Amino acid sequence: MLLQIPNVLSPEQVQACRTALIQTEWADGKITAGYQSGKAKHNLQLSEDNPIAREWSALILKALEQHQLFIAAALPLKIFPPLFNCYQGGGHFGLHVDNAIRDIRAEGFGPVVDRVRTDISATLFLSEPEEYEGGELLIEDTYGAKSVKLPAGHMILYPSTSLHKVNPVTQGARIASFFWIQSLVRDDAQRTVLFDLDQSIQHLTLATPDHPSLVQLTGVYHNLLRMWSNA
């Protein structure tokens, strides 16, 4: 499932985040890449133990906790703390698949305290589309490559199994946050069924709140979640 999540951050939060990020020190983006993806990755990134990155990572996680569309789509069990990158001056990321497992470390590069299986990849855009040229996120799925370039504060979710790349940024700067989610439901097709069913229940509840099928449909949703969940 490829899904846009709007308004994760407000315009005021985006501006405050960007103001903080541009005042801190960026490093080579290869620091979090695996062997194969490292050869294709050409961007800048904030270190995981950067205090500004940690502060805004926590704020993004708090925002996601309150975003019902994100919860319904991702069914998050664990979320890797959001990271931040910047593409400029021709920076790009060639075609790759994200690492299957990400280690969460104490104080950035300390001992491993948890691991996240990357079921879902997320990119939260912090630059407006008109601020840079190029920089489209291209995601390959069953129906071909999808080009994604969203307004600041909006986020895209897509299966971490997908081949994807970031086109070169030829002018301006593309700043974004990126991270991964381990879902309660590992299989993308099953998550899609649950999401579609959840949205149908929500729409039916608004249109006809006393519809007799609502209880039955809600039961079907929870029974499927119970069947498919790996929590």
Supply φ then ψ for residue 30, to 5 degrees: -70, -10
Is CATH 2.40.30.10 the classification given to domain 3-183?
no
Assigned CATH class of 188-228: few secondary structures
pLDDT tens for 154-178 read: 999 999 999 999 999 999 999 999 9
Give the per-residue pLDDT at 40.
81
> 96 labelled as ligand-binding?
yes
Residue 76 exposed, middle or buried by CB count within 10 Å (0-12, 13-18, 19+)? middle
> 188 labelled as ligand-binding?
no
32 close to 98: Cβ distance less than 8 angstroms: no
pTM assigned to the model: 0.93
pLDDT tens for 79-127 read: 999 999 999 999 999 999 999 999 988 875 678 889 999 999 999 999 9
Q: What's the half-sphere exposure (Cβ side, CA atoms, 13 Å) at 87?
A: 29
> 222 labelled as ligand-binding?
no
Is it the case that residue 1 has pLDDT exceeding 70? yes
CATH code 2.60.120.620 region(s) in the chain:
3-183
Give the per-residue pLDDT at 32.
61
CATH code 4.10.860 region(s) in the chain:
188-228
Is it the case that residue 28 has pLDDT exceeding 70? yes
| Range 33-57 average pLDDT | 83
Give the per-residue pLDDT at 142.
78
Supply φ then ψ for residue 184, to 5 degrees: -60, -30
> 164 labelled as ligand-binding?
yes
| Range 195-212 average pLDDT | 95
